[in-house]
Structure 1
Amino acid sequence: MQSSQGFQYFLAGFNLINTKGLKRFVLIPLLINVILFGGSLFFIYDWLTQGFAYLNELLPTWLSWLEWLLWPIAIFTILFSYTSLFSIITNFIAAPFNGLLSEKVELHLTGKKINDDGFLDTIKDVPRMLAREGTKLMYYLPKAIGFFILLWVLPVVGQVIWVLFTCWMFAVQYQDFAFDNHKIHFRETRKQLKQNQGLSYGFGFAVLIFTTIPLLNLLVMPVAVCGATKLWVENYRDQY
């Protein structure tokens, strides 16, 4: 099934980040993810701890057990809503490095350069890369707001739709780096991904699962970029 293949492409990223010649291009995206993601989770944990401490002061003693019920709910909500939004923000900051990593992975897999641009040309391309991330953000936000509201209005249906939407956005986010390196319009990228939805959702689901695993989630960004590039090479590259 395509969905299982998509999952396997993500797992292939773990091997690629350890490949000789690619490790140095993995380092910067990895550090960005560790600093921003790790730091923000620490902040959120501290905020939740203070919030629950304040709640305990308001509740009578016989309702103190509510904290043990609310903690799992709060953690679940953060893992399945905050992580997707944070991923978009982190990738916006790391976009030039993720694009470079994707380019080097494609060179490693195919033996062919995407272009002959030098370092200065790459620097000049940064505004375009950031503009592309802005396009993805504008694609994401209206849908995220609508589905987040639905999550509270119809919790069961909302959770299913939110998970599916998150998987889709992870697939779009990470597969787009290879498309963008070839200057393919974002509209065309979405069209191609929709034609292979099994691959996209399988890949996005793998990203979602590993994003919720402590410590491993710090590796998700470079692993996903590498895995998504392999997916591009084997399923889309020959079309362009």
Structure 2
Amino acid sequence: MPAGTLRLTPLVAFLAPFRGLARVFDPGLRGLVIGPLIINILVVIGLATAAGVGFEALLAAWLPGGWDWLAWLLWPLFALALLVAFGVSAVALAAIIASPFSGPLAYRTARGLGHEPRQPARSFLGEMGHATVTALRKAGYYGLLFIPVLLITVIPGLNLLAPIAWFTFGSWVLAVEFLEAPLANDGLAFAEVRKTVRAHRLETLSFGAGTTLLAMVPLVNLLLVPAAVIGATHLRVRLPRA
């Protein structure tokens, strides 16, 4: 059965990043994984460290003298928030920075799955140019999606739905971010990428949900950028080729 006609279900989409995680250290992909892996690790550790230092400074300024013991109670709450907020944002930022490496990784993964990308492989400079232009378009797209989430967060009553809104927003953003590379290798411009993911909303959200959950897991999120690119490519080969 051709790769493009393999059955795609929400469960398959949800499990795709887990499948990618299992293939991060495949010998055939290892050379292309190193770049995004290093960027992923540096960004996640850097943001987590900055957040920790900032939180300690906030506690020192906010807690009255003699109340330092309360910091031990607040740290677990902060750790939980860090897993959710910084896990997703760090992976998204790392994915954007690592974009020039994602295209070649998706390209080789697709060929290994028997899916020949329609677009010829770009040079590294070509990948840099594509990543820069696409990043600007993504920023505008994500910004528009962020507006209703922000409104839900600040409007009393509606803000009860804020956790769901943020999880959905994060899932969609991560899904689009990682699916863009394999779809671009098939010659799809970002407008066409948006059209494709909208045509497969449930599968896109399922893939994003799986990716978001992994982004919240310490240590695992250090490997998530290359894993999600590989997983997104597995998902792409199950989409019908236009």
Same fold, judged at TM 0.5 (above): yes
Q: Which whole-Å deviations, capped at 9, do the CAs of 1:136-186 have from their partners, x for residues lacking one?
A: 121112322541353243432111111111111111111111111222121
Query: 1:19 is matched with which residue?
Result: 26
Q: Where does 1:135-214 land on structure 2 (aligned, <5 Å)?
A: 135-153=137-155, 154-214=158-218
> How far has the Cα of 1:125 moved from its partner?
4.0
- TM-score, normalised to structure 2, is 0.85
Q: Which structure's residues are more often helix, by fraction?
A: 1
SS at match of 1:234: coil
Q: Which amino acid aligns with 2:128?
A: V
Give the superposition deviation at 1:132.
0.8
Task: Name the CA shift for 1:111/1:84 in 2 (closer, same or farther; >3 Å).
Answer: closer
Unaligned runs of 5+ in 2: 1-7
Deviation string for 1:107-130 (max 9, x for gaps)? 111163655557xx4423421222
Which letter does structure 1 place at the counterpart of 2:136?
Answer: G
Change (3 A) 1:228 1:180: same
Alignment partners' CA distance in 1, 2:220 and 2:235: 21
Segment of structure 1 superposing worse, 142-151 or 196-205: 142-151
The residue matched to 2:26 in structure 1 has which SS? coil
TM-score (norm 1): 0.86
Q: Which residue type is aligned with residue 18 of structure 1?
A: F
Matched with 2:57 is 50
The alignment covers a number of residue pairs equal to 233
Within-5 A mapping of 1:31-42: 31-42=38-49
Cα distance, 1:16 vs structure 2 = 2.3
Corresponding position of 1:101:
105
Is the CA contact (8 Å cut-off) linking 2:215 and 2:221 kept in structure 1?
A: yes
SS in 1 for 2:238: helix
Displacement of 1:78 in angstroms is 3.7
Is this contact kept in 1: 2:87–2:221, CA < 8 A?
Answer: no
CA distance in structure 2 between the partners assigned to 1:9 and 1:91 by the alignment? 17
Match of residue 88, structure 1, among 89, 92, 97: 92
Other structure's SS at 1:184 match: coil
Q: Which runs of 5+ in 1 are unaligned?
A: none
Percent identity of equivalent pairs? 23
